[in-house]
Structure 1
Amino acid sequence: MLTYLKRFFLAPSTGEPLAFFRIAIALLGLVQGGWLAGSITLLYGADGLVPWSLSSGIVDPYMPQLSWLQPLVRVTGVAADTWVYVLMGLYLCSLALLLLGKYTRYAAFVAWALHFTFINTGFMAAYGVETFMHIALFYCIIMPVGAVYAWDTFSPHTRPLATEWNTLSIRVLQLHLCVVYIASGLEKAMGIQWWNGEAIWQTLMQGQFARFDMHWIASYPLLAKVIGWSTLLLEIGYPFFIWWRRSRPYAYLGVVLMHLGIALFMGLQLFSSIMIIFNTAAFGWPYLQQAYRSMVQPLRERKRLQRAGQLATQAFWSHFE
């Protein structure tokens, strides 16, 4: 038993899935920052949608928050919103360094701390993508995400080593996802709305989520029920389907399609993206590699044949020169 557990958690493996996790999370954070660029003061400013005077009374006073900048504002005379822009710029710079793999752990720590400060103050603390971004940045601090495809460790002459820490990190991601999905599925299953299709109907009809005119689904109540049942089956069954090797590719594909559906029909592109990143790093990386090879290898073979044909033609005509 101990031998099996040691092999399960500590068998050496490459760090490529963790490098993908680092790069994808940093890119997603930069994209999100670009989307918010025009609304930073509205979301996080001293007099924004959630003023500092209000957020400081809600959040635990020992938690980092932007209201801690007030003494600095009084001392320097620099406007509070200017400091918000400075911190947001520092946050985006740390994400850029994380993307490149330069000072990886330090960059991840700075990004995590600043992100924690923003979500303790701003308007989006309850948004799911913020929670998972906070978790992902913390994982980037403690996991060896900068061992491969990183500026700090790049060398054209050496191949990255397989270590037990890579495997342990991947297992943590995998077990975390299993807990997340089964907890979400069980919570949904305790209410009647996911069994009778009401949850699907309400989601598609809410103005903040609705992207298409879906009134026609009222004529097909069984369709809404099937979507709800499928969601419950996929989330509650996630730990079982994803661990069985034969069903794993179908479970991974099902989860990816579910989140793509959420992005398309509810407009939650960032949340769907971060969940797909988590699932790909934890379970889907071999299938991503396989898909890449299936596309790249035929192109390489075609170029090789073309080159061989060109050399044969040159050799043929060289006899007549």
Structure 2
Amino acid sequence: MLSHLKRFFLAPSTGEPLAFFRIAIALLGLVQGGWLAGSITLLYGANGLVPWSISSGIVDPYMPQLSWLQPLANATGIAADTWVYVLMGVYLCSLMVLLVGKFTRYAAFIAWALQFTFINTGFMAAYGVETFMHIALFYCMLMPVGNVYAWDNFSRHTKPVANEWNTLSIRVLQLHLCVVYIASGVEKAMGIQWWNGEAIWQTLMQGQFARFDMHWMASYPLLAKVIGWSTLLLEMGYPFFIWWRRTRPYGYLAIVGMHLGIALFMGLQLFSSIMIIFNTAAFGWPYLQRAYKTIVQPLRERKRLQRAGQLATQAFWHQYE
């Protein structure tokens, strides 16, 4: 029993999935920061949508928050909103450093601490992307995400080294996702809305989520029910079909498809992206590798051969010019 557990958690493996996790999370954070760049003071400023005087009364006073900048602003004479821009700049720079894999753990810690400060202050966006970004940056602090495809370890003459810490980290991601999905599915199943299709209908009709005119679904109530049942099946069944090798690729594609549907029909692109990143790092990386070897590499080789043939033909005719 102990030998099976040890092999399950500590069998050596390479760190490519964790490197993908680091790079994808950093890129997503930079994209999110770019989207917020033009509205930073409105969302997080001292007198933004939720002023610091209000948000500081909601958050635990021992939690980091932007209102801590006020004494600094008073002492330096520099506007508090200017310091917010400075912190956002440091946050984005730390994500760029994390992306290239330089001082990975320190960059992840800075990004994690600053992201925590922002989500504790002012505009608190919903639907989970901030929470999962916070979790992802925390994992980047602790997991060996900088051992592969990183500036700190870059060398043309070295290959990724398999070790047990990579496997343990992947197992943590896998078990975390299982808990997340089954908890979400059970919570949904406790209400009637996901069984009778009402949750799907209300979501697609809400102005903040609606992206298409879906009134036609009123004529097909069974469709909303089927979508709701499918969601419950995917989430509550996630720990079962994702661990069985025969169903894992289909389960992975199904869960990715569900999040793509959320991005398309609800406009929650960032949330969908971070969930796809988690799933790909935890379970989907081997399938990406296989797709690359069977599709991308042959196409690149074909283009290389075509280019070589064109150059040979040009060289042949140049002899007679």
The question of a shared fold, defined as TM-score above 0.5 by the shorter chain, is answered with yes
Q: Residues 313 and 44 from structure 1, CA distance in 2 versus in 1: closer, same or farther, beyond 3 angstroms? A: closer
In structure 2, the residue matched to 1:293 is 293
In structure 2, the residue matched to 1:201 is 201
Gaps of 5+ in 1: none
In structure 2, the residue matched to 1:183 is 183
In structure 1, the residue matched to 2:32 is 32
CA deviation map 1:44-93 (0-9, x unaligned): 00000110000110000000000111110111010000000000000000
Normalising by structure 2, we get a TM-score of 0.95
8 Å Cα contact 1:17/1:285 also seen in 2: yes
In structure 2, the residue matched to 1:94 is 94
In structure 1, the residue matched to 2:55 is 55
In structure 1, C-alpha distance between the alignment counterparts of 2:35 and 2:305, rounded to whole Å: 45
Is 1:72 aligned to residue 72 of structure 2? yes
CA deviation map 1:95-114 (0-9, x unaligned): 00000001100000000000
**Structure-to-structure mapping, 1:141-152, within 5 angstroms:** 141-152=141-152
In structure 2, C-alpha distance between the alignment counterparts of 1:115 and 1:311, rounded to whole Å: 52
CA deviation map 1:277-315 (0-9, x unaligned): 000000000011111112223224425655786799899
**Structure-to-structure mapping, 1:120-131, within 5 angstroms:** 120-131=120-131
Is 1:166 aligned to residue 160 of structure 2? no
Instruction: Give secondary structure in 2 for the equivalent of 1:243.
Output: coil
The count of aligned residue pairs is 320
Is 1:14 aligned to residue 14 of structure 2? yes
In structure 1, C-alpha distance between the alignment counterparts of 2:59 and 2:314, rounded to whole Å: 75
Q: Residues 310 and 78 from structure 1, CA distance in 2 versus in 1: closer, same or farther, beyond 3 angstroms? A: closer
In structure 2, C-alpha distance between the alignment counterparts of 1:309 and 1:72, rounded to whole Å: 66
Structure 1 counterpart of 2:261, one-letter code: G
In structure 2, C-alpha distance between the alignment counterparts of 1:312 and 1:271, rounded to whole Å: 50
Structure 1 vs Structure 2: percent identity of aligned residues? 89
Normalising by structure 1, we get a TM-score of 0.95
Is 1:235 aligned to residue 223 of structure 2? no
In structure 1, C-alpha distance between the alignment counterparts of 2:16 and 2:221, rounded to whole Å: 44
Gaps of 5+ in 2: none
Deviation at 1:255, TM superposition (A): 0.4
8 Å Cα contact 1:260/1:272 also seen in 2: yes
Q: Residues 185 and 309 from structure 1, CA distance in 2 versus in 1: closer, same or farther, beyond 3 angstroms? A: same
Instruction: Give secondary structure in 2 for the equivalent of 1:191.
Output: coil
In structure 2, C-alpha distance between the alignment counterparts of 1:310 and 1:257, rounded to whole Å: 41
In structure 2, C-alpha distance between the alignment counterparts of 1:215 and 1:203, rounded to whole Å: 12
Structure 2 counterpart of 1:60, one-letter code: D
In structure 2, C-alpha distance between the alignment counterparts of 1:189 and 1:225, rounded to whole Å: 13
In structure 1, C-alpha distance between the alignment counterparts of 2:160 and 2:20, rounded to whole Å: 14
In structure 2, C-alpha distance between the alignment counterparts of 1:83 and 1:307, rounded to whole Å: 53
In structure 1, C-alpha distance between the alignment counterparts of 2:309 and 2:216, rounded to whole Å: 58
Instruction: Give secondary structure in 2 for the equivalent of 1:26.
Output: helix
Structure 2 counterpart of 1:55, one-letter code: S
